[in-house]
Chain A
Amino acid sequence: MASANSPVPLLEVRNLEQHFIQYRGLISRQRSIVKAVDGVSFHINGSETLGLVGESGCGKSTLGRSILRLIEPSKGTIHFDGEDITKIGDGRLRALRQKMQIIFQDPFASLNPRMSVGNIIEEALIIHQLGATKKEREDRVVELLGLVGLRKESIARYPHEFSGGQRQRIGIARALAVNPKFVVCDEPISALDVSIQAQIINLMQDLQYSLGLTYLFIAHDLHVVRHISSRIAVMYLGNIVEIGDAATIYFAPKHPYSQALLSAVPLPDPKRKSRRILLRGEVPSPINPPSGCKFHPRCPHVMPQCKITAPPLVKLSNQQEAACYLYT
């Protein structure tokens, strides 16, 4: 994937699989395996943003969590800064977590309501033994609050005293407290009002520039993803079906699912005549995924071979890869 002149990736994921075992039935305990992430490979270069899009249940949040080993991946390798983090022990992992952080979707559920904002952010510093004295840590917390646009008086206040947008700023400050290089942003703006979404997007872009951060930006809003990302990956039922340069994917998607997904997003332009590709049915259950290409039951271009074997991700140009028999 990496061409001769491209930079060394900060994160390189190879054939990652994440299985969950589900037990069904009361008497005969049937065991079924859900392949939430089913053989995913990609890389993210330093200081870039990879946007990850897909619908509920496609495995995008699971992928974000496996990369950080918040859940243990079932198979595959994850190289972060050259080191395979699937093979390291807990001690080393904790040290590495300082470099890899996550911002969660729900700013109401992800902050402990019984801790003051100061304590929430300071906790990260204590765990990673940053700042020798209480005073040093407090100074750092104040600095972080300023960085995310909150007043220093916020330090003694509790999460319930803040609005959704402000809580998301607290979540960002907590993630940045330990000076990470890489941040998984799991739908960080989905729960926010439109005008606040725009503020948080700008804040995240400014922080990326000033701190040299690398983002995996998980979202379902394709307009937002195009705006913030350098590259985009589209997921469907545990697989990446298309990946490439953000503008190319947004303006000229090749995979039929990417095309349908894009056309489904309503544009804020009443004069535009919609050329919508309406998909039949809904995303099938990942417990019992369709054979071959998992998208084939909903695909408008389905061919006989699609039902038999899954198409591999192939390079269409330097900017774009897609997994579809239309292009092989």
Chain B
Amino acid sequence: MTGGQALLTIKDLSVEFATEEGLIKAVDGVNFSINKGETLGLVGESGSGKSVTALSIMRLIKPPVGQISRGEIFFDGENLLAMREDRLRKLRGNRISMIFQEPMTSLNPVFTVGDQIMEAIQLHQGLNKKDALDKSVEMLKLVGIPAPEERVFNYPHQLSGGMRQRVMIAMALSCKPDLLIADEPTTALDVTIQAQIMELMKTLQNELKMGIILITHDLGVVAEICDRILVMYAGQIVEEASVVDIFSAPRHPYTLGLLNSVPAYNHGKELIGPDGKARLKTIPGMVPNLAELTGGCRFFERCFKGASTCREHEITLNTSEPARSFRCLYPVHIGRNEQGFQGEVSHG
């Protein structure tokens, strides 16, 4: 967060989408930065703006549907948002690359995996076909695909989900990027394959010293491989802290609520239901409709600490504690007479 020059710095980013319900701000004033060799976790639920933030870095938000309405994104000192398209194309897939969630839909079904990896290598590194093919085989080997010299001629449908995700990773890493954006890279995979892929990403990061922005809703994955966490809610960053601080001392009630929703986080400290069995401490309600925001704290309706002052004006980030920030007037202090969220009341 401080010290040295950041690899990527996002300043006051806002992204708007034109919808039937009017203009909505999917990302609203987001600020953060990431250093070389660092893994930053971007956590939030559907519609929180985490994927839109990632797509903005790659400048993949296209008018007229969506547009970046405000902000700057500095990569290695240059503003990506003011950059000419041809210059940007030299960075994309080369120094900044991205892994998407769905390995089936993000690979082209009519080309072999080799063709697809070679495309980026030939384009960015100017290798000839033969060298690019050798390099592709080497990349497939690196990501742990058995018999890579045969697999390189396979089509995507001939590979399993885990293998396809490895191909995506091989492709993303083929030009040794400085920054890797991974949008839910393991969500579609089984846990034993997820474990293999996470291990692989950690190893490769050590080797290549790249910065990784990991977008996920899986708090277990985040705990395991991230250094720092950003929690997003309804288009805003509501909390930023080191991974240890987020899990041991969350300040924003939403962060606490998310953690409590995971059965393993609170094991043994849950609420007890009428049947004597454990119940999770849930966050009531659901995320607000971005078209119908009423000002003030966006988490207000679902918060156990909400007070009338929360609604009066936009909540700014509280930076009173070192190396962390949170968007809350009444932050949580675990262990200090906190009630937390209650389990849903039994109906009927």
Contacts and interface: CB of A to CB of B under 8 A. Distances in A.
Q: Do chains A and B interact in one complex?
A: yes
Interface stretch (B29-37, B135-143, B218-226, B310-318): B218-226
B195 A197 contact: no
Interface string B245-284: 0011000000001111111110100000111011111111
A308 B45 CA distance: 48
A210 interface: yes
Nearest to B261: A198
A147 B282 contact: no
B337 interface: no
Nearest to A225: B263
B196 A202 contact: no
Contact of A220 (B190, B263, B275): B190
10 contacts: A195-B45, A202-B282, A202-B343, A223-B262, A224-B263, A263-B195, A267-B264, A270-B243, A271-B247, A278-B199
Contacts of A20: none
Contact of A268 (B244, B265, B279): B265
A156 interface: no
Interface in B161-219: 161-163, 190-196, 198-199, 217-219
Given A56-B190, A264-B191, A279-B192, A193 B348 contact: no
A255 interface: no
Interface of A: 55-56, 143, 146-149, 163-166, 193-199, 201-203, 205-206, 208-210, 220, 222-224, 226-227, 260-261, 263-272, 274, 276, 278-279, 281-283
Contacts, number: 148
Nearest to B43: A194
Nearest to B198: A266
Contact of A261 (B160, B192, B274): B192
Q: Which of the listed residues A147, A196, A260 has the most CB atoms from chain B within 10 Å of its own CB? A: A196
Across the A-B interface, the 6 shortest Cβ-Cβ residue pairs: A266-B220, A198-B261, A227-B263, A209-B275, A193-B45, A264-B195
Interface residues of B, number: 55
A194 B45 contact: yes
B277 A270 contact: no
A288 B227 CA distance: 43
A193 B263 contact: no
B224 A270 contact: yes
B223 A269 contact: yes
Nearest to B226: A270
B332 to A, nearest CB: 16
A192 B151 CA distance: 35
Interface of B: 45-46, 146, 160-163, 190-196, 198-199, 217-224, 243-244, 247-248, 257-265, 267, 273-275, 277-284, 286, 343-344, 346-348
Contact of B282 (A198, A224, A227, A266): A198
Contacts of B199: 276, 278
A108 to B, nearest CB: 12
B218 A210 contact: no
Contacts of A149: 344, 347
A268 B247 contact: yes
A205 B275 contact: yes
B190 A283 contact: yes
Contacts of B278: 227
Contacts of B283: 195, 198-199
B264 A194 contact: no
A126 B284 CA distance: 33
Contacts of B274: 206, 209
Contact of B223 (A195, A220, A267, A282): A267
Contact of B280 (A193, A201, A226): A201
Contacts of A203: 344, 347
B223 A205 contact: no
A55 B217 CA distance: 20
Contact of B247 (A148, A193, A269): A269
A209 B190 contact: no
Contacts of A146: 347-348
Contact of A194 (B162, B258, B346): B258
A222 B196 CA distance: 18
Contacts of A194: 45, 217, 219, 258, 261-262
B257 A195 contact: yes
Nearest to A148: B347
B220 A267 contact: yes
Contact of B273 (A195, A209, A268, A278): A209
Given A148-B347, A210-B348, A261-B191, A202 B45 contact: no
Contacts of B263: 201, 223-224, 226-227
A165 B282 CA distance: 13
A298 to B, nearest CB: 9
Contacts of B275: 205, 208-209
Contacts of B146: 281
Nearest to A193: B45
A56 B217 CA distance: 20
